[in-house]
A and B are shown apart, each in its own frame.
Chain A
Amino acid sequence: MAILVDSATRVICQGITGSAGATHTRGCYAYGTRMVGGVTPGKGGTFFEIEAAPTGGGYDGKGPIKEAKLPIFNTVAEAVKATDANATMIFVPPPFAADAIMEAAEAGIRLVICVTEGIPVVDMTKVKRALQRYPKVRLVGPNCPGLITPEACKIGIMPGYIHKAGDIGILSRSGTLTYEAVWQVTQAGFGQSSCVGIGGDPVKGTDFIDVLELFERDPETKGVVMIGEIGGSAEEEAAAWIKKNMSKPVAAFIAGRTAPPGRRMGHAGAIVSGKSGTAESKVEALRAAGIAVCDSPAEIGATLLKAMKRL
């Protein structure tokens, strides 16, 4: 496998009957992800139907699309017991999302991907503390597009067709900007081992270093693209980690050089507070660690391919 997920990963969706949950459950299933069920409290015992010849929103899979009837459960624990799910994709609305994450952890799911945007920060600080009791659980997100191992497993909202199986790992705090980088790599004729959106919130489950560590250990990954943005100091910490531990080439882009201080740029975590969290500080730290940082978002793919001596 590449990292975190492969074709054997068994996935449920929490919030499967909501509009986003339903759309993306179909989208992931069509891509070839082994979707095994869903959870909506109160709708246990019913089924989520996927038609055989889907058209329109969310369908972008290449493989044969079979019709499916996914069982819906009242609780994650029941879903795990019945389906052996080992990953979950959360689309539960913000006021209930923190609870959904903890329910998944308690039910023994090891990989929790929370796509939901807009969870209060205090809720996430509580989740982070509570997750310390479940050291084997990995939370990705919240406020993230999810993750994908191309042509094997997609858990999230990213368009599947822009990806191609390959050996470049991509990790990012942003959604569409990640697609941009993926697309540049694919257009250049290369593919991705895995792509992980860690999310745009200030308090999140998985940070750059966690994913870098996985890419460094993964024999299928030969080079890494890291996309950061203003706010916090995760990029600076990642730079120091890369310098010390990473043997594979890394290229980076930092979004938000033109962002004014004190303003939240869409993502809750994308804010320059006083003198901290600026793009300049991040670019400087990354360059000092020997990482190829591009100034233009149009050059993300090319910058890595050059660093890998493929261009």
Chain B
Amino acid sequence: MNIHEHQAKALLKALGVDVLEGRVAFKPEEAEKAYGELGTPVVVVKSQIHAGGRGKGKAVEPGKLDPKKYDSKTGNYSGPGVASDKGVVLCKSAAEAKSAAGKLLGNVLVTKQTGAAGKKVQRVYVEAGCPPEKEFYVSVLLDRGVGLPVMMVSPAGGMDIEDVAEKSPEKILRVHFDPADGLWPHQARRAAFFLGLTGDAFKSGVKLLGNLAKAYVKLDCSLLEINPLALSKDRVFCMDAKLSFDDNALYRHPEVEELRDLAEEDPKEVESRKFDLNYIALDGQIGCLVNGAGLAMATMDVIKLYGKMPANFLDVGGSANKERVTAGFKIILSDPNVKAILVNIFGGIMSCRVIAEGVIAAAKEVNLKVPLVVRLEGNASKEGKEVLKASGLAVTTADGLADAAEKVCAAVK
């Protein structure tokens, strides 16, 4: 799960991490008011969306957005309707803040990370201006190979860390730590020295790095990224903040779950969570309903091998029943791109007959109009196929994965 920058900063601030003063604004007038409250001569109005590259992004009027004018390599948009040529704007007066917020709010921000469709800006963060003397990079994430969190720091702030890792790996320091211990002071010192901090800035940096490691563990993050971390007059603080959370641990963080912004998520994915289904929207034409995550991925792959693209990932889980299959069908069909559906079930413990009955009931309930290919294998698969046949529904049954993929792809012109 992801949250907005301003939410991440509020969480970090509560854990002793230095961030700048700021206000959230949903309307231009609120941004205007925020300028007065913050009291600094310069403020920064920042678009809040769940994607990076905002500074170089362009805010485009939704009706005028031409996806063909988006260069997916550079992330640059060169089409019509540009209201603001940056997603993060420096403002020197209340009027400027109001005007900048007006150009961002309600428009679609297109960045390197959003793809051609962009993301609608529904709120901005107005932050006190504090020009940095230096910018650094710091992140904490899981090192899967070692099975421990690792803090990565680099003096190359504000850049794409993967580019830094590729071109100048010597500019990155990795410090592993045990979540039970947090970052030891000597580790925090090593990282602060690596960033070239001295004097009071060094002390401030050591404290901040230690607190970031603590925050990562305490909040059950899957990623904590501060890019850039900034230095200004002996003060080290977060200019940006990105937090992603371990979904498995959300049960013990209701305060984080409350920060979920449903407007940032695909409505189909929001709906699927209600039924405990694992659904991810993709942009192909073939809807898939599968049991098991690995098999669901493999089903998507085999569809591509036969020349089409999957419209979604959907794992109905091990306890698929009529209700879950029906919910899955409804979610798949709410995507207008879906031209055919492939149901691929390997009935282990679960009976294929039960699945077949669920599929029939679901198809009737949703008044299915697109071609449906069903592949049932395993427990009671023969009975399952007979049930499908006897139903009178226009269902194509398939034997094996390859046959299923071939049939469903052929059903779509």
Contacts and interface: CB of A to CB of B under 8 A. Distances in A.
Do A and B share a complex? yes
Contacts of B246: 120-122, 268
Contacts of A162: 348, 378
Contacts of A265: 280, 293, 296-297, 313
Contact of B144 (A269, A296, A299): A269
A259 B147 CA distance: 24
Interface stretch (B8-16, B301-309, B325-333): B301-309
B228 interface: no
Contacts of A2: none
A296 B302 contact: yes
Contacts of A157: 318, 348-349
A270 B293 contact: yes
A126 B318 CA distance: 28
Contacts of B402: 296, 298-299
Contacts of A61: none
A266 B293 contact: yes
Contact of A233 (B144, B292, B346): B144
A283 to B, nearest CB: 11
A119 interface: yes
B294 A172 contact: yes
Interface in A249-278: 253, 255-260, 263-270, 273-275
Interface in A145-196: 157-159, 161-162, 172-180, 183
User: Interface on chain B toward A: helix, strand, loop, or mixed SS?
Assistant: mixed
A292 to B, nearest CB: 17
B152 interface: no
B298 A177 contact: yes
Contact of B310 (A27, A126, A183, A258): A258
A297 B248 contact: no
A95 B252 contact: yes
A119 B248 contact: yes
- Contact count band on B: 35 or more
A227 interface: yes
B300 interface: yes
A57 B349 contact: yes
A83 interface: no
Central interface residue in A172, A174, A298, by most chain B CB within 10 Å: A298
Contact of A122 (B220, B293, B309, B346): B220
A58 B178 CA distance: 40
A138 B298 CA distance: 29
Given A57-B349, A268-B248, A270-B293, A253 B298 contact: yes
A269 B222 CA distance: 11
Contact of B162 (A23, A158, A177, A274): A274
Nearest 8 A-B pairs (CB), nearest first? A174-B294, A266-B293, A176-B292, A177-B294, A120-B249, A297-B298, A298-B402, A159-B348
